[in-house]
Amino acid sequence: MANKRENYTANENSILYAETGGCCPLCTQPIIFQKKGSKKPAKCYEIAHIYPLNPTQVQVTALVGYPAPSEINALENLIALCPTCHTKYDKDFKIDELEKLRKIKDRYLSDTQARLTASQHILQEEIFAILDAITSYEFDENALSSANFDISTVDKKLKTGMSPLQKHEIKVNAISFYVRIRDHIRALERQDQASIRILLNQINSYYLAMSRQNPDNKDLVFNYVAQWISEKSQKPILPAKVLASFFVQNCEVFDVSAE
Protein backbone atom coordinates (compact mmCIF):
# COMPACT_ATOMS: atom_id res chain seq x y z
CA MET A 1 0.00 0.00 0.00
CA ALA A 2 1.39 3.36 -1.07
CA ASN A 3 2.24 5.98 1.54
CA LYS A 4 0.05 9.07 1.41
CA ARG A 5 1.66 12.50 1.18
CA GLU A 6 0.48 14.69 4.02
CA ASN A 7 -0.64 18.30 3.79
CA TYR A 8 1.79 20.12 6.00
CA THR A 9 0.61 22.90 8.29
CA ALA A 10 1.80 26.51 8.22
CA ASN A 11 3.83 25.85 11.37
CA GLU A 12 5.51 22.81 9.82
CA ASN A 13 6.30 24.84 6.70
CA SER A 14 7.77 27.56 8.89
CA ILE A 15 10.04 25.05 10.63
CA LEU A 16 11.26 23.52 7.37
CA TYR A 17 11.83 26.93 5.78
CA ALA A 18 13.64 28.33 8.81
CA GLU A 19 16.05 25.37 8.86
CA THR A 20 17.38 26.31 5.44
CA GLY A 21 18.15 29.92 6.27
CA GLY A 22 16.07 30.88 3.23
CA CYS A 23 18.14 29.05 0.60
CA CYS A 24 17.80 25.70 -1.13
CA PRO A 25 20.37 23.45 0.59
CA LEU A 26 21.45 21.94 -2.75
CA CYS A 27 21.71 24.91 -5.14
CA THR A 28 21.68 27.77 -2.56
CA GLN A 29 19.05 29.72 -4.50
CA PRO A 30 16.49 31.70 -2.43
CA ILE A 31 13.34 29.68 -1.77
CA ILE A 32 11.13 32.66 -0.91
CA PHE A 33 11.52 35.79 -2.99
CA GLN A 34 9.54 38.61 -4.53
CA LYS A 35 8.78 38.02 -8.18
CA LYS A 36 8.96 40.85 -10.65
CA GLY A 37 5.73 42.81 -10.67
CA SER A 38 4.54 41.31 -7.39
CA LYS A 39 4.05 43.28 -4.20
CA LYS A 40 4.53 40.32 -1.88
CA PRO A 41 7.16 37.57 -1.59
CA ALA A 42 6.14 34.16 -2.91
CA LYS A 43 6.87 30.66 -1.64
CA CYS A 44 9.28 29.02 -4.09
CA TYR A 45 10.07 25.73 -2.41
CA GLU A 46 8.63 22.25 -2.15
CA ILE A 47 8.74 19.79 0.72
CA ALA A 48 10.89 16.81 -0.26
CA HIS A 49 11.18 13.42 1.40
CA ILE A 50 14.82 12.51 2.02
CA TYR A 51 14.01 8.82 2.15
CA PRO A 52 11.55 8.48 -0.78
CA LEU A 53 7.86 8.49 0.12
CA ASN A 54 7.10 5.60 -2.23
CA PRO A 55 10.35 4.20 -3.65
CA THR A 56 10.33 2.88 -7.21
CA GLN A 57 11.73 -0.57 -7.86
CA VAL A 58 15.02 0.98 -8.97
CA GLN A 59 15.13 3.03 -5.77
CA VAL A 60 14.27 -0.02 -3.65
CA THR A 61 17.32 -1.78 -5.08
CA ALA A 62 19.53 1.24 -4.44
CA LEU A 63 18.21 1.60 -0.89
CA VAL A 64 19.29 -1.85 0.27
CA GLY A 65 20.99 -1.30 3.63
CA TYR A 66 19.20 2.02 4.15
CA PRO A 67 16.20 1.33 6.40
CA ALA A 68 13.12 3.49 5.97
CA PRO A 69 12.34 5.85 8.86
CA SER A 70 9.64 4.68 11.25
CA GLU A 71 7.50 7.65 10.20
CA ILE A 72 8.03 8.49 6.53
CA ASN A 73 6.19 11.84 6.78
CA ALA A 74 7.89 13.01 9.97
CA LEU A 75 9.69 16.35 9.85
CA GLU A 76 12.99 14.51 10.43
CA ASN A 77 12.62 12.97 6.94
CA LEU A 78 11.61 16.21 5.23
CA ILE A 79 13.60 19.08 3.79
CA ALA A 80 12.68 22.21 1.84
CA LEU A 81 14.11 22.25 -1.70
CA CYS A 82 13.57 24.49 -4.67
CA PRO A 83 11.28 22.87 -7.30
CA THR A 84 14.20 22.23 -9.68
CA CYS A 85 16.31 20.39 -7.11
CA HIS A 86 13.29 18.50 -5.80
CA THR A 87 12.39 17.24 -9.26
CA LYS A 88 15.99 16.28 -10.02
CA TYR A 89 16.34 14.47 -6.69
CA ASP A 90 13.18 12.41 -7.25
CA LYS A 91 13.69 11.64 -10.93
CA ASP A 92 17.46 11.14 -10.90
CA PHE A 93 17.70 9.49 -7.50
CA LYS A 94 21.20 8.68 -6.27
CA ILE A 95 22.30 7.29 -2.92
CA ASP A 96 25.08 9.86 -2.59
CA GLU A 97 22.45 12.60 -2.90
CA LEU A 98 20.36 10.95 -0.19
CA GLU A 99 23.42 10.78 2.07
CA LYS A 100 24.19 14.43 1.31
CA LEU A 101 20.66 15.53 2.18
CA ARG A 102 20.68 13.34 5.29
CA LYS A 103 23.86 15.03 6.54
CA ILE A 104 22.41 18.47 5.82
CA LYS A 105 19.18 17.62 7.61
CA ASP A 106 21.04 16.13 10.58
CA ARG A 107 22.99 19.39 10.88
CA TYR A 108 19.72 21.35 10.78
CA LEU A 109 18.33 19.17 13.57
CA SER A 110 21.54 19.52 15.57
CA ASP A 111 21.50 23.33 15.19
CA THR A 112 17.86 23.46 16.28
CA GLN A 113 18.57 21.35 19.37
CA ALA A 114 21.60 23.50 20.21
CA ARG A 115 19.49 26.68 19.99
CA LEU A 116 16.82 25.14 22.22
CA THR A 117 19.42 24.09 24.77
CA ALA A 118 21.09 27.52 24.60
CA SER A 119 17.78 29.19 25.45
CA GLN A 120 17.66 27.10 28.63
CA HIS A 121 21.19 28.00 29.80
CA ILE A 122 21.92 31.41 31.31
CA LEU A 123 25.30 33.12 31.45
CA GLN A 124 26.66 35.43 34.15
CA GLU A 125 27.17 39.07 33.16
CA GLU A 126 30.83 38.81 34.22
CA ILE A 127 31.36 37.29 30.77
CA PHE A 128 30.84 40.75 29.22
CA ALA A 129 33.96 42.20 30.85
CA ILE A 130 36.04 39.17 29.87
CA LEU A 131 34.97 39.41 26.21
CA ASP A 132 35.55 43.17 26.15
CA ALA A 133 39.05 42.59 27.50
CA ILE A 134 39.75 39.96 24.85
CA THR A 135 38.61 42.37 22.14
CA SER A 136 41.12 44.96 23.35
CA TYR A 137 44.09 42.56 23.44
CA GLU A 138 46.87 42.91 20.92
CA PHE A 139 47.79 39.67 19.14
CA ASP A 140 51.04 38.38 20.63
CA GLU A 141 53.04 36.79 17.80
CA ASN A 142 56.01 36.13 20.12
CA ALA A 143 53.82 33.91 22.29
CA LEU A 144 53.34 31.49 19.42
CA SER A 145 56.92 30.29 19.64
CA SER A 146 57.25 30.27 23.43
CA ALA A 147 54.08 29.36 25.29
CA ASN A 148 54.63 29.77 29.05
CA PHE A 149 52.11 27.10 30.03
CA ASP A 150 51.53 23.44 29.21
CA ILE A 151 49.81 23.30 25.81
CA SER A 152 49.77 19.50 25.92
CA THR A 153 46.36 19.68 27.64
CA VAL A 154 44.86 20.90 24.36
CA ASP A 155 46.57 18.12 22.41
CA LYS A 156 45.23 15.48 24.79
CA LYS A 157 41.68 16.80 24.74
CA LEU A 158 41.56 17.20 20.97
CA LYS A 159 43.35 13.97 20.09
CA THR A 160 40.18 12.55 18.52
CA GLY A 161 36.92 13.91 17.17
CA MET A 162 38.17 17.26 15.89
CA SER A 163 39.41 18.40 12.50
CA PRO A 164 43.07 19.53 12.20
CA LEU A 165 42.01 23.03 11.13
CA GLN A 166 39.75 23.55 14.14
CA LYS A 167 42.38 22.11 16.46
CA HIS A 168 44.96 24.52 15.04
CA GLU A 169 42.67 27.52 15.64
CA ILE A 170 42.09 26.52 19.26
CA LYS A 171 45.82 26.02 19.91
CA VAL A 172 46.71 29.41 18.39
CA ASN A 173 44.01 31.12 20.47
CA ALA A 174 45.08 29.35 23.64
CA ILE A 175 48.79 30.10 23.17
CA SER A 176 48.16 33.75 22.24
CA PHE A 177 45.61 34.70 24.89
CA TYR A 178 45.57 32.09 27.67
CA VAL A 179 47.73 33.89 30.26
CA ARG A 180 46.00 37.25 29.84
CA ILE A 181 42.52 35.72 30.08
CA ARG A 182 43.57 33.66 33.10
CA ASP A 183 44.91 36.73 34.88
CA HIS A 184 41.79 38.73 34.03
CA ILE A 185 39.51 36.00 35.40
CA ARG A 186 41.63 35.78 38.56
CA ALA A 187 41.21 39.52 39.08
CA LEU A 188 37.44 39.23 38.67
CA GLU A 189 37.44 36.27 41.03
CA ARG A 190 39.11 38.34 43.75
CA GLN A 191 36.19 40.78 43.47
CA ASP A 192 33.43 38.16 43.44
CA GLN A 193 34.57 34.57 43.72
CA ALA A 194 31.05 33.10 43.75
CA SER A 195 30.01 34.76 40.48
CA ILE A 196 33.08 33.50 38.63
CA ARG A 197 32.56 29.98 39.93
CA ILE A 198 28.95 30.12 38.80
CA LEU A 199 30.11 31.35 35.39
CA LEU A 200 32.58 28.48 35.03
CA ASN A 201 29.89 25.98 36.02
CA GLN A 202 27.49 27.50 33.47
CA ILE A 203 30.03 27.12 30.68
CA ASN A 204 30.83 23.57 31.71
CA SER A 205 27.11 22.73 31.94
CA TYR A 206 26.41 23.96 28.40
CA TYR A 207 29.49 22.14 27.11
CA LEU A 208 28.25 18.88 28.67
CA ALA A 209 24.82 19.35 27.10
CA MET A 210 26.37 19.91 23.66
CA SER A 211 28.74 16.98 24.14
CA ARG A 212 25.81 14.70 24.94
CA GLN A 213 23.94 15.87 21.84
CA ASN A 214 27.00 15.61 19.57
CA PRO A 215 29.17 12.90 21.16
CA ASP A 216 31.41 12.27 18.14
CA ASN A 217 31.86 15.78 16.76
CA LYS A 218 34.07 18.10 18.80
CA ASP A 219 34.08 20.68 15.99
CA LEU A 220 30.34 21.14 16.47
CA VAL A 221 30.60 21.14 20.26
CA PHE A 222 33.30 23.81 20.27
CA ASN A 223 31.46 26.05 17.83
CA TYR A 224 28.13 25.66 19.63
CA VAL A 225 29.80 26.72 22.89
CA ALA A 226 31.33 29.76 21.15
CA GLN A 227 28.01 30.68 19.49
CA TRP A 228 26.20 30.39 22.81
CA ILE A 229 28.71 32.69 24.52
CA SER A 230 28.40 35.17 21.64
CA GLU A 231 24.59 35.15 21.54
CA LYS A 232 24.05 35.31 25.30
CA SER A 233 26.52 38.17 25.70
CA GLN A 234 25.59 39.96 22.46
CA LYS A 235 29.30 40.14 21.69
CA PRO A 236 31.09 39.22 18.41
CA ILE A 237 31.85 35.58 17.65
CA LEU A 238 35.66 36.04 17.42
CA PRO A 239 36.29 36.91 21.09
CA ALA A 240 33.75 34.23 22.03
CA LYS A 241 35.82 31.63 20.14
CA VAL A 242 38.98 32.88 21.86
CA LEU A 243 37.30 32.46 25.24
CA ALA A 244 35.99 29.01 24.30
CA SER A 245 39.58 28.09 23.35
CA PHE A 246 40.74 29.26 26.78
CA PHE A 247 38.27 26.93 28.44
CA VAL A 248 39.49 24.01 26.35
CA GLN A 249 42.95 24.55 27.85
CA ASN A 250 41.57 25.42 31.28
CA CYS A 251 39.73 22.11 31.76
CA GLU A 252 36.19 23.50 31.45
CA VAL A 253 35.62 22.22 27.91
CA PHE A 254 36.56 18.71 26.73
CA ASP A 255 37.49 16.27 29.44
CA VAL A 256 40.81 14.49 28.91
CA SER A 257 39.51 11.51 30.84
CA ALA A 258 36.67 11.12 28.32
CA GLU A 259 39.09 10.18 25.53
What local confidence, expressed as pLDDT, does residue 257 receive? 45
Per-run averaged pLDDT (10 residues), the chain, 259 residues: 86 95 94 83 92 92 92 96 95 93 96 93 90 83 56 74 90 86 90 90 92 90 94 94 88 57
d(CA 33, CA 23): 10
What local confidence, expressed as pLDDT, does residue 5 receive? 86
What local confidence, expressed as pLDDT, does residue 156 receive? 77
Judge contact between 239 and 143, C-beta under 8 A. Answer: no
User: Where along the chain do its domains lie?
Assistant: 10-118, 122-258
What local confidence, expressed as pLDDT, does residue 114 receive? 94
Nearest to 231 by CA among 88, 115, 62: 115
- pLDDT one-digit tens code per residue, 218-246: 999 999 999 999 999 999 999 999 999 99
